[in-house]
């Protein structure tokens, strides 16, 4: 018996007992009171007639006195029946209405419907715990790649956040995701569950989700958001597969921009950053940097600047932070007490000759003010901005309009508000998307960082030639019986399969598909931009980049042996058994005739 039925029976027990009792007494007394038939003889109602009479009387329908006119005693009892049954039904209906409005019943009903929806999912899915800004971006990415998604959010009704407005239905539940029972209801222990993504605002909650998920389903992939080191270590001890710290992730992006602007552009483009064009790499000039806000993000960015031997001027209003900074003995760097929102402080920090300024406080209003003031004092300064809330995106976009008005007598182009924007939700969502959709992309980026700037420029050219101005699509091909049965079968026959065969158009083998192989992983070996004539082997993993439709166009070559033969030999083979035999017979006769 499910929870809903059990709760209904418990709450409706008294009304049901009362209705049954009233009906039973009414029917029994009607059968005992003597009546008179049309011949004047004594007549007693049968149980069926009594039940029929009480039923239409209790519901106030009133079909009359049947089958014979009632006696005075029967009519007196009928009056009593009317009052008893009407009062009983009002009581029962009132209990039903109260039950429908009861918060416990509503919660149990939603939980039961949620459990049923999860069980009816027929494709792999991910459980997303937390539907804030990050959770919403993760769900959108999963649906875009045709994965199933299940959402658990504690704060409020998820329907108010627009989840039910998506084109595809997403089972969702308002509950505490750290409760193991809720994770079990969400199907974490099911084989169809590919992973659990914990992106709530609390590190402690994410830790509980990670522990519970690994205990419920040891083989499931767990991805957690964490902002504090102590929680990260705890998550790792329980086998959490991926831990994403938004500050560390953005610091890596910032380091990449300093080291190789072209490689940073490739990363931004491949991970789905909005409004990124391959024709607009960032330009960081030499010089010192100004860092406003010396919190978690500021300290990590300062550490990267130290590794690059770049002098930094820190601006922060906290005196204790200044004392800690002085004890750290950063001899070449300077610390100024202030917020950085005013021109005198920025001028004291040397904004006029600075290469870059970082607005890294936890207050968006201060960050916007720092950026506006810095750009008014130095047009060419490189700007890194921290956007704490997604809701303030409009303000970040509007600031350019105000800056343009203040420069109305000048014709120079207005550069972007911030060349790098640290929006925690966006940073986390993009990394999760890369981990889940194309895990080889992380290997590609890390391995490519060892290459020189010239290599990155060549890669940009090749990507531009393939995709143009269209948004890229990343996908992984794993050579094996399950994902690529045609390739596996051909390799089993001892045939040589090269990379160029996979990127041939299965409709017109003279043309190549608009895609490029970014990485080949063979065991522990990684090969960047593998050559087209590279021989493929079983269990190879390939990372491709191209147009979205190309991924689907390539699929028949990977799964259908006859199509694979066509792209390899330029010959069409019939599919039917008889035609195959006939074709082979004719080809054998042709070979014999040619020998003569």
Q: How far apart are CA 203 and CA 482, in angstroms?
A: 37
Q: If you ran DSSP here, which 8-state letter would residue 534 be given?
A: P
Residue 276 pLDDT > 60: no
Burial class (CB in 10 A: 0-12, 13-18, 19+), 143: middle
Q: If you ran DSSP here, which 8-state letter would residue 160 be given?
A: G
Pair 231, 169 in one domain: yes
Q: Kindly report the CATH number assigned to the domain that includes residue 535.
A: 3.30.70.1450
Pair 28, 144 in one domain: no
The reported pTM is 0.75
Q: What is the pLDDT of residue 578?
A: 63
For residue 126, give the nearest of 101, 157, 148 by alpha carbon: 148
Pair 197, 292 in one domain: no
Pair 573, 455 in one domain: yes
Residue 552 pLDDT > 50: yes
Pair 135, 228 in one domain: yes
Domain with 79 in it: 3-101
Least confident of 130-144, 375-389, 578-592: 578-592
11 inside domain: yes
Residue 541 pLDDT > 90: yes
Strand order in the sheet with 172-174: 172-174, 148-153, 125-129, 193-198, 221-225, 242-244
Q: Of 358, 386, 414, which closes a domain?
A: 386
Q: What is the pLDDT of residue 582?
A: 63
Structure tokens at 125: 């899915």
Q: Of 218, 244, 270, which closes a domain?
A: 244
Residue 322 pLDDT > 50: yes
303 inside domain: yes
Mean pLDDT over 436-460 rounds to: 87
Q: What is the pLDDT of residue 572?
A: 65
Q: Kindly report the CATH number assigned to the domain that includes residue 72.
A: 1.10.287
Residue 431 pLDDT > 90: no
| Structural domain total, the chain | 4
Which helix (H) or strand (E) segment holds residue 236: the answer is helix 229-237
Pair 459, 572 in one domain: yes
Structure tokens at 456: 């990155």
Q: For residue range 188-231, what is the model confidence (pLDDT) as tens digits?
A: 999 999 999 999 988 899 999 999 999 999 999 999 998 887 77
409 inside domain: no
Q: What is the pLDDT of residue 579?
A: 55
Mean pLDDT over 565-581 rounds to: 67
Q: Of 244, 271, 302, which closes a domain?
A: 244
Pair 293, 233 in one domain: no
Q: For residue range 385-411, what is the model confidence (pLDDT) as tens digits?
A: 888 887 777 676 666 555 555 555 444
417 inside domain: no
434 inside domain: no
**How confident is the prediction for the chain on average, in pLDDT?**
85
Pair 79, 159 in one domain: no
Pair 300, 367 in one domain: yes
Pair 97, 126 in one domain: no
Which helix (H) or strand (E) segment holds residue 463: the answer is helix 453-467
Q: For residue range 500-535, what is the model confidence (pLDDT) as tens digits?
A: 999 998 888 788 899 999 999 999 899 999 999 999
Least confident of 131-145, 251-265, 314-328, 401-415: 401-415
Full DSSP string of 170-195? --EEES-TTSHHHHHHTTTTSTTEEE
Least confident of 64-73, 387-396, 571-580: 571-580
Q: What is the pLDDT of residue 414?
A: 42
424 inside domain: no
Q: What is the pLDDT of residue 561?
A: 87
Q: Kindly report the CATH number assigned to the domain that includes residue 292.
A: 3.40.50.720
Full DSSP string of 22-90? HHHHHHHHHHHS-EE-TTS-EE---HHHHHHHHHHHHTT----S-SS---HHHHHHHHHHHHHHHHHHH
Q: If you ran DSSP here, which 8-state letter would residue 19 be given?
A: H
Q: How far apart are CA 592 and CA 160, in angstroms?
A: 76
Pair 140, 32 in one domain: no
Q: What is the pLDDT of residue 563?
A: 87
Mean pLDDT over 348-370 rounds to: 91
pLDDT-derived band of residue 446, with 50, 70 and 90 as boundaries? confident
Pair 455, 565 in one domain: yes
392 inside domain: no
572 inside domain: yes
């Amino acid at each position: 018996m499910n929870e809903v039925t059990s709760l209904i029976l418990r709450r409706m027990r008294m009304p049901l007992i009362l209705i049954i009792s009233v009906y039973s007494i009414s029917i029994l007394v009607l059968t005992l009171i003597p009546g008179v038939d049309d011949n004047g003889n004594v007549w007693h109602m049968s149980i069926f007639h009594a039940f029929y009479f009480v039923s239409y009387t209790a519901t106030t329908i009133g079909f009359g006195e049947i089958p014979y006119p009632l006696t005075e005693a029967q009519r007196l009892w009928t009056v009593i029946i009317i009052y008893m049954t009407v009062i009983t039904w009002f009581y029962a209906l009132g209990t039903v209405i109260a039950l429908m409005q009861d918060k416990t019943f509503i919660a149990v009903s939603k939980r039961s419907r949620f459990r049923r929806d999860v069980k009816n999912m027929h494709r792999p899915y991910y459980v997303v715990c937390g539907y804030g800004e990050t959770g919403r971006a993760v769900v959108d990415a999963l649906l875009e790649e045709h994965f199933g998604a299940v959402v658990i959010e504690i704060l409020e009704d998820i329907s108010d956040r627009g989840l039910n407005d998506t084109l595809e239905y997403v089972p969702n539940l308002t509950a505490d995701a750290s409760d193991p029972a809720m994770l079990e209801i969400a199907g974490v222990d099911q084989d169809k569950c590919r992973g659990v993504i914990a992106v709530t605002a609390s590190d402690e909650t994410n830790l509980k989700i990670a522990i519970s998920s690994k205990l419920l389903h040891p083989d499931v992939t767990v991805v957690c958001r964490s902002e504090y080191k102590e929680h990260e270590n705890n998550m790792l001890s329980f086998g959490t597969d991926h831990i994403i710290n938004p500050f560390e992730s953005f610091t890596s992006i910032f380091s990449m921009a300093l080291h190789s602007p072209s490689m940073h552009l490739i990363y931004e483009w491949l991970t789905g950053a909005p409004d990124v064009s391959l024709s607009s790499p960032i330009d960081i000039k030499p010089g010192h940097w100004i860092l406003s806000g010396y919190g978690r993000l500021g300290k990590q960015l300062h550490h990267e600047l130290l590794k690059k031997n770049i002098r930094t001027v820190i601006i922060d209003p906290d005196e204790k932070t200044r004392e800690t900074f002085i004890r750290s003995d950063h001899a070449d760097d300077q610390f100024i007490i202030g917020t950085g929102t005013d021109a005198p402080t920025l001028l004291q920090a040397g904004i006029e000759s600075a290469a870059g300024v970082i607005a890294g406080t936890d207050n968006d209003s201060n960050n916007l003010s720092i950026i506006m003031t810095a750009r008014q004092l130095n047009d060419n300064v490189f700007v890194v901005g921290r956007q704490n809330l997604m809701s303030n995106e409009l303000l970040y976009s509007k600031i350019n309009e105000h800056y343009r008005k203040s420069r109305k007598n000048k014709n120079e182009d207005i550069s972007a508000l911030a060349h790098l924007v640290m929006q925690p939700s966006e940073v986390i969502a993009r990394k999760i998307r890369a981990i889940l959709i194309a895990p080889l992309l992380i290997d590609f980026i890390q391995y490519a960082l060892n290459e020189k700037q010239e290599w990155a420029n060549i890669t940009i050219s090749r990507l531009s030639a393939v995709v143009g101005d269209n948004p890229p699509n990343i996908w992984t091909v794993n050579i094996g019986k399950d994902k690529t049965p045609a390739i596996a079968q051909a390799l089993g026959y001892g045939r040589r399969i090269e990379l160029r065969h996979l990127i041939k158009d299965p409709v017109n083998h003279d043309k190549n598909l608009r895609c490029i192989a970014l990485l080949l992983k063979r065991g522990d070996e990684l090969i960047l931009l593998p050559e087209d004539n590279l021989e493929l082997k079983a269990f190879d993993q390939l990372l491709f980049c191209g147009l979205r439709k190309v991924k689907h166009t390539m699929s028949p070559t990977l799964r259908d042996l006859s199509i694979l033969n066509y792209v390899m030999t330029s010959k069409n083979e019939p599919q039917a058994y008889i035609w195959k035999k006939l074709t082979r017979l004719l080809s054998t006769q042709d070979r014999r005739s040619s020998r003569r």
